Amino acid sequence: MTTRLSSKGRRAALAMSAALLATVALGGPAALAHGPDPLLGSGTRWARDQVVPYQWDPNGPPPAWAAAEIDAAADDIERTINSRAATFTRVASSGNRIYYGILVPCSSYGIACMDRSGAPDSFTGMWFRPHNYPFDWGTLKWCQAMATMANGCYDVENVALDEFGHMELLGHHVNYSDERDFSDSVVQFAARNRPKEGWNQHFLGRCDVARLQLEYSLQSSSDHVSTCLNLATTLAIGGPTSVATGGSARITGTLKIAVASAARELSGDNLSGRSVTLQRRALGSTSWSTVGTVPPSATAGTYGLTIAISSTADYRLVFDASVTEGLIDATSATLRITASSGCTAATGTTRKVQEQIVPPGC
């Protein structure tokens, strides 16, 4: 069930109670303050990378100043989803309509609203109330419709971005009570008007992106995970358990997001291009020392480093998560590599290259 969602109104006591009502009525999952945005209703997904078309409603096409801003919001979505969420593009002919005018199904206090019923095949509509519409709280002013922009007006692109966010499946972000995290989401119950902080934000916030990543996955295994998330990771180590003294060992690692239902579509996904280091602990020692950085290999999520083995020792890999993304550090299991006593490295070959010369005793 997806209902028409009133989305934008004046910041007022009214907004508080209506937000609560929306959360209950839409049945989205409980969301902690400052977590990823909740799902809107049942959160039916579009397909990954789906391109959703729209056209202006012939019965209420937006005026040019609004049309340009709505199209710009669709571009903002594509530029900042940082995931395989749907994108929106205007076409000559589509049953998915965007309307501007007085005949809207929005709540009595909403300046715009949308209805994504029909997803993933279509959506029902998106509606914007007109400039100078008289609400009981005052007269609606769209900033772009004003010859001289004045405080108290609403930014069309920002409001349209909220509506496209809903169209993806995002519910309103649950802010801290003092709203210090307001800019972490543009999908807000109440838009801020000019000149309040965030009134003209033209990109998705990190907690909008976090939900999109959870539902639609990353575009690439090397993409950054939103800092609005805090996901556990797993790091597996591979390599030989015995090497001739003086020989070499290829140590490999595989880094993934830990398998967990809370990680949704990201569960178990590969993580490429991260900072993985190899550590070594000598036999009988309790302390680890860093051998070096383990570079990424060609396969997604894999890393590898070849080292010389001079004595038996323990090895482990360490993933040090960047503060610029929402991942938790991981340490691999310990791999003991035994150096075969008395052996030296095989050097040289006969004319048949596969017949390696093996020193005595190995």
Name the residue with the smallest CB distance to Zn ion: 7
Distance of alpha carbon 274 from alpha carbon 287, whole angstroms: 24
Minimum Å gap between C-beta 190 and Zn ion is 8
Cβ-based burial of 198 (10 A; exposed 0-12, middle 13-18, buried ≥19)? middle
Q: Is 194 helix (H, G, I), strand (E, B) or coil?
A: coil
The residue written with tokens 């800092």 in the block is: 227
Nearer to Zn ion among residue 113 and residue 305 (C-beta): 113
Stretch that binds Zn ion, among 54-62, 141-149, 161-169, 335-343 (CB under 5 A): 161-169
Nearer to Zn ion among residue 162 and residue 168 (C-beta): 162
Minimum Å gap between C-beta 208 and Zn ion is 11
Minimum Å gap between C-beta 62 and Zn ion is 18
Distance of alpha carbon 125 from alpha carbon 94, whole angstroms: 11
115 binds Zn ion (CB under 5 A): no
Segment 247 to 266, residues that bind Zn ion, using CB under 5 A: none
37 binds Zn ion (CB under 5 A): no
> Which among 33, 161, 195 is positioned nearest to 88, based on CA atoms?
161
Q: Dmax of the chain from CA atoms?
A: 95
- Residue 80 CA, chain-centre distance (Å), reads 9
Nearer to Zn ion among residue 8 and residue 256 (C-beta): 8
Nearer to Zn ion among residue 161 and residue 335 (C-beta): 161
Nearer to Zn ion among residue 7 and residue 245 (C-beta): 7
Q: Tell me the angle at which helices 156-168 and 64-80 cross, rounded to the nearest 10 degrees.
A: 50
What is the enclosing helix (H) or strand (E) of 338?
A: strand 335-340
Paired with 290 in beta bridges are: 279
7 binds Zn ion (CB under 5 A): yes
Stretch that binds Zn ion, among 52-60, 89-97, 156-164, 296-304 (CB under 5 A): 156-164
Minimum Å gap between C-beta 202 and Zn ion is 16
Nearer to Zn ion among residue 69 and residue 162 (C-beta): 162
162 binds Zn ion (CB under 5 A): yes
Minimum Å gap between C-beta 7 and Zn ion is 3
Buried b (16+ CB within 10 A) or exposed e, 270-286: bbbbbebbbbbbeeeee
Minimum Å gap between C-beta 3 and Zn ion is 13
Nearer to Zn ion among residue 187 and residue 258 (C-beta): 187
69 binds Zn ion (CB under 5 A): no
Minimum Å gap between C-beta 55 and Zn ion is 22
φ/ψ region of 80 (left if φ > 0, alpha if ψ in -120 to 50, else beta) reads: alpha
109, HSE (Cβ side, Cα atoms, 13 Å): 18
Stretch that binds Zn ion, among 4-12, 48-56, 209-217, 331-339 (CB under 5 A): 4-12
Buried b (16+ CB within 10 A) or exposed e, 319-336: bebeeebbbeebebeebe
How many residues bind Zn ion (CB under 5 A)? The answer is 2
Q: What is the amino acid identity at position 135?
A: F
Nearer to Zn ion among residue 62 and residue 253 (C-beta): 62
Residues 296-335: x where in contact with Zn ion by CB under 5 A, - otherwise, as a string = ----------------------------------------
Interface ranges with Zn ion (CB under 5 A): 7, 162
